[in-house]
Amino acid sequence: MNRPQTVNIRLSLTASALLLVGCVGEIAEDELIESVRGNIETSSCNTSVCAHFDAPAAAKTNSEREVIISHLLSLIGSAQDDSEIHGAIYNLDIKDIAVALVEAASDPDRRVKVNLVADGCLEPAHWDRKRCKTDVGSEKWEAMTYLYNNRLHPSVQGRINITFCHQSNGGTACFGDPDKGIQHAKYFLFSSIPNPQDPTAAVNATWIGSANLTDSTGKRKFNDGLTVYGSLNLYNGMIGYYNAQTSQGNRDAQPTKQTIEATDVGATVYLLPEFRGNPLAVSLSNHLSSFDVANNDCIIRVAHQSFGLVDIFEVLRDFAKKGCKVQVAIGRGSMSHVKHGRLLRRLAKKTNAEVKVWGKRDGSIHSKMVVLTYKGRDGNGRYVVYTGSQNISEPSVNKNDELLVEINGQALHDAYSRHFDDYWTLPTGWKRLPHPG
């Protein structure tokens, strides 16, 4: 019997394949146990959470490039025999990802079950030029068609299942806006991989990132991704979100869930569009209300592809008014949007605020991260990271299937801050908006 075409991408099932060399021993939850940094920050891990970073315009060596996609491939390659992978895809043209998933399912020694939910525009049988604005002959279709066709291959034996999101009025979200919503969440869930702390044992893993599975925005732009190991609260909660997506929003009379609380790793995941309103603005406002104005060393760093929400402008303005240093790094396309440009210029004029817009085509910002540190009224420091798929845009809040992760911890905060500074401090590539200082 013929097997699907493969390439040699299966990676070693060792801790080093997961970029976690040296992660041993009993260590406090937030204690840093590995940070990989050459010229730039590429990864940082504690006992249960790893962050991986791409900053292509600042990278100087091959090992500093395509870090996130390489890590995701290593996770797929390490999925254990008879385990399950669940994932959500907005866009796909990296064929190595498609091949890795097919190989995991078709290998008779592994028999991994692969369950995917994808934006409706990725379904070859329902492609529509006007709705999807893509080319059938593009690389996207080579990768997606490979995955789509091989799900029926005899060696796969039904172990690849793909649900494509379609709404009655043309939307391609699973339960977002029926007219213009898209499935924009990016996550992969692994029921069983080798435990980075002890490769002889197994653990679940949850990956959530800003990167699309594409060369243009997944490999060549400023992105980040989080991998959480062993959190059943997070893993099971995300399985629930996946099940809701694949049922096209029908939760079989179960209550709608708006968040996942993973207290074991200090994380909250906001599930959109179930969460009504803008969770980023709500959470930042809550932090602002506990801010100690008199005794603070506050800084908030924002690296986002777009900037089009008034409530985010207002909360950042208010942080600046209270003496917090506000740094905003935005992708090059945002200034071409009238509303986005107006908000960015207004913010740049505020005392304590600085706004830079990436001016080059290559290496632009695709991240969706906010990094905050301040002292609360109790005198204790707060260290918060926000990331995921949610852009600072109206469709991300009201129309799309999206994720926003809020996670606490100083080591993770510091790694994200270094990642931000890898771009912020570059001498070229930036346009700094006019500032009164």
pLDDT in tens, 272-289: 988 989 999 999 999 999
The pLDDT, as a whole number, for residue 22 is: 29
Range name among 19-33, 220-234, 239-253, 332-346 with the lowest pLDDT average: 19-33
Instruction: Say if residue 16's pLDDT is above 60.
Output: no
Q: What are phi and psi of 368, to 5 degrees?
A: -135, 55
24 pLDDT band (50/70/90 cuts)?
very low
pTM for the structure as a whole: 0.90
Is 10 within the bounds of a domain? Answer: no
Enclosing domain of residue 62: 17-22+33-257
Helix (H, G, I), strand (E, B) or coil at 5: coil
DSSP 8-state secondary structure symbol assigned to residue 143? H
Range name among 28-32, 99-103, 419-423 with the lowest pLDDT average: 28-32
Question: Are residues 225 and 300 both part of a single domain?
Answer: no
89-135, pLDDT tens digit by residue?
Answer: 999 999 999 999 999 999 999 999 999 999 998 888 776 767 776 55
What end-to-end distance do the CA atoms of the chain give, in Å?
71
Instruction: Say if residue 248's pLDDT is above 70.
Output: no
Question: Are residues 249 and 119 both part of a single domain?
Answer: yes
333-388, pLDDT tens digit by residue?
Answer: 777 787 888 999 999 999 999 999 998 888 999 999 999 999 998 889 999 999 99
Question: Are residues 61 and 158 both part of a single domain?
Answer: yes
Share of the chain above pLDDT 70, in %: 86
CA distance linking residue 191 with residue 86, whole number of Å: 8
The mean of the pLDDT values for the chain is 87
Is 324 within the bounds of a domain? Answer: yes
Question: Are residues 218 and 313 both part of a single domain?
Answer: no
Is 221 within the bounds of a domain? Answer: yes
Q: Which of 369, 388, 274, 275 is nearest to 327 (CA)?
A: 369
> Count of domains in the chain?
2
The pLDDT, as a whole number, for residue 276 is: 86
